Chain A
């Protein structure tokens, strides 16, 4: 062997638009959406990689990549600025014989075969940038090796009534997989596919190349690659994961996941010196909390100036909450200004928004019929005028 090689590298699928997040992803890719007072969604898979000893991560971007690209930068905030490996942004590019966008998740990896070959790894970990969870992938890799598997899929137990929202994996007693059910009405089991895969690279490469030759394929891992491996009786196993895991692909789930951080009965603890979630730091001073402020059961990031009332909310870095403003059960993303007297309830406010004086945004669900109510959302860079009223469920 003349060249060095890596045992395992990660490929992070970060090209999705996240259209269900509506105004929050009109200018940025979903993995770049802020989360939890100081993070962005992509911090979770990236920090998981670093905490699992994986130091090479290819990040596949396509949709609105500017913010995401500059956010990841050289990977330094996550310790992914490595001499050999590290974080690499991988956009689609023009090739000598053809030029195309990433057609699907499998095609995105296929187009980056040369990147993976640079490291000639034994295993490839496929991740997505849509979930909030803490996971030590090295344990999953151990499991993959123990089972002598060709492909291992992380699976989480979900309540039976929610199985119709997930890809369900049916397994034998030894956790080997015999069937996939895509969003079934009546699931046979409650093992949901978490979208985290470990493949033996040689096998994956073969199947990606085969998939590319198939004109009828939609070039997708879930729809094409995994069923094909199963059909060919490759060794596929489910890796049971227990712990907090949440898809943040919708406005409701994004709001809920933020609220989970201030709910002591939900088992997600970000404060853990042995498994830190890293994030890019913006050199902001600590937050100032004035005499007129009242903060209850809330998270407040750095560089904030809080003079109003904040209850059951997550306030991100660099926000200014003026005197007399009231924020309840809401998520206020970075660098937003909430002017005096504004009242915000059950709302997500995007980055760099300005909320006018005495504006009233969102309402508690208690006075509404179930269908008439929803989370209110104010988009990135949006200005809401003084005295303006934004009703529940509205997305502006």
Chain B
């Protein structure tokens, strides 16, 4: 029973999930080291950098914290800056909540505490495309990424300023991760259009409000436009799934079907089989009489 939900019962589940989170863990390690180095330069020893990485667990927030400490910002402004920086997680949490409905209060508390842009991205993708993905697996992804992040921070705190790291290159690992996520997300023309819209809006809002609040504004607005358009099309089109805007984009054959598609096909087949069965029994009855 315990093994029933596994993708490949030959392999242990934790190994399977580790494989899924490995690319993230490997990119977190050097960024964590860089973050530890910066926090160390801002006056924290390696125990403290390790502690921050576990308690805050957010790249953006920790890098910002280092700069705030160096500029001797008051504690209230540290709190406000970080709070607005982290406000986008309100959106992430809300969008994952539909997959966490059956979880206990305690596990939601634990899950949300170590949620992050990157492990959210992995978990969201898995929840959408893999129907066997459970909240437990999602939590495991968070813990693996936390472990590599904390290790990086600890190492960075220990090394201090002895090593120079090219942050531009290291930081691009995360950008690449998000580009991968975008490519995986885009399955309809509408998703692509919303992505482009969000790109434009984010440039506009980021340069306008001069803070990461711009990301939140762009995300809320672009996603709402996506919802509005889909809603209109579904209401007024005769065959919404085959309209141009909701039509599927071409993908290489191996990536064309999502889990939902396959489920849909299976359901249709099952319905057909049932129909046939039904007609056969009717035939049998007819013959009997």
A, B bound? no
Residues of B within 8 A of A (CB): none
